[in-house]
């Protein structure tokens, strides 16, 4: 995995925190943490987009953030577990893996040319 994709993962990690913060922040310190997470996630998204296709980066960023937020909601905040929700998240993650694989094939093809 190259550095740019690692930056996307870090950005998605922070995305989970700011999305949760939007719902659960109740005081100034929690809101400041939410703002820091927003800044970090978008900084990572912008940095990764300089070296990778923006559409793929955004899809991976949002997809991983969505999956992480749903998982966190179930595990940490008592949101209801639903098998169909998990199946749909797995389908979303399969799409993300597919985008990443297509990106790898495209990069390999360009290197051979």
Cα of first residue to Cα of last residue in the chain, in angstroms, is 22
**What tokens appear for 87 in the block?**
């199946």
* Residue 74, pLDDT score: 92
Report helix, strand or coil for 16: helix
Domain count of the chain? 1
pLDDT digits (tens, 9 = 90+) for 42-80: 999 999 999 998 988 998 999 999 999 999 999 999 999
Range of the domain at 78: 3-112
- Report the C-alpha gap between 43 and 48 in whole angstroms: 9
CB-count exposure of residue 60 (10 Å: 0-12, 13-18, 19+): buried
Residues 6+ apart with CB under 8 A from 93: 63, 64, 67
């Amino acid at each position: 995995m190259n550095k740019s994709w690692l930056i996307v993962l870090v950005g998605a990690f922070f995305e989970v925190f700011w999305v949760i913060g939007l719902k659960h922040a109740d005081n100034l310190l929690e809101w400041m943490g939410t703002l820091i997470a927003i800044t970090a996630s978008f900084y990572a998204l912008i940095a990764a987009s300089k070296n990778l296709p923006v559409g793929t980066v955004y899809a991976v960023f949002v997809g991983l953030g969505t999956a992480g937020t749903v998982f966190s909601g179930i595990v940490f905040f008592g949101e209801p577990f639903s098998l169909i929700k998990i199946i749909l998240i797995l389908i979303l993650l399969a799409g993300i893996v597919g985008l990443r694989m297509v990106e790898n094939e495209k990069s390999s093809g360009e290197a051979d040319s």
